[in-house]
Amino acid sequence: MTHQISTLPEDWTRAMAIVAHPDDLEYGAASAIARWTAAGKSIAYVIATDGEAGIDGLTPAEAGPLRQKEQLASAALVGVDDVTFLGHRDGVVEAGIGLRSDIARQIRRFRPEVLITATYELTYGMTAGQRIVNQADHRAVAVAVLDAARDAGNRWIFPELLDEGLEPWAGVRHVYLMGANQPSHAVDVTDHLDAGIASLRAHAAYLQGLGRDFDPAQFLRTMTAAAGTSIGARHAVAMAQIQLQGV
């Protein structure tokens, strides 16, 4: 099966990347984020949990602060210093109105034109015949992001945000899904792959906690080379575009 992949449009200045865990953005999107911040765009990160359930050998009380610290370092390496942790409980995130409200608050604060999140699909996999379950937290956050993007633009949904001085923001045009089974757009990251690799390496305690050999450079080079062929670039990051406003 083939489908057309277009170059991701870059006619915007502000994007917010909203994901479940520290490290979710570093498995691909960080190289694109490095490209965009280098071009002068403003990017903010919103992380729903502290990833405190992500390291088998560390208790959540130990892992949470450590993973926050690694995420901040990781973001700085690709030019992002606006990082918010929402404090939802790792592993059991629900796409309910609590999460929607928390995300809508961040969207109203930062006023992005573009959102980036992980796909909501139940399974994914770059390789035919290999299907991997997409974690529950990723799915929940993606659904909440799509709904919160609409909520952020409606004055009468979450009116308590008005009391916080946060006026409606209906300016989100597109949501991009990382890891989507059928990407529609790709961004050339050939010149920013090294920053993306460094950004993943910054999750040192997490990667060590995996307890198996994992080479961030090899992983990201292979993944981005595969996506690159779709747009004639050496390395690219591919995502599925969802349009938020009807024409």
- Give the binding site for Zn ion (CB under 5 A): 20-21, 24
Minimal distance in Å, beta carbon 48 to Zn ion?
Answer: 10
Minimal distance in Å, beta carbon 225 to Zn ion?
Answer: 23
Which of 227, 239, 151, 137 minimizes the C-alpha distance to 190?
227
| Cα–Cα dist 127/19, whole Å | 23
Q: Which CB, 205 or 231, lies closer to Zn ion?
A: 205
CA angle 93, 96, 102 (to 5 degrees): 80
DSSP state of 135: P
Minimal distance in Å, beta carbon 115 to Zn ion?
Answer: 17
Q: Do residues 117 and 141 make contact, with C-beta atoms less than 8 angstroms apart? A: yes
Q: Which CB, 117 or 230, lies closer to Zn ion?
A: 117
Q: Which CB, 21 or 111, lies closer to Zn ion?
A: 21
Residue nearest to Zn ion (CB): 21
| Cα–Cα dist 84/34, whole Å | 18
Q: Which CB, 20 or 44, lies closer to Zn ion?
A: 20
- Bin 129: left if φ > 0, else alpha if -120 < ψ < 50, else beta: left
Minimal distance in Å, beta carbon 21 to Zn ion?
Answer: 4
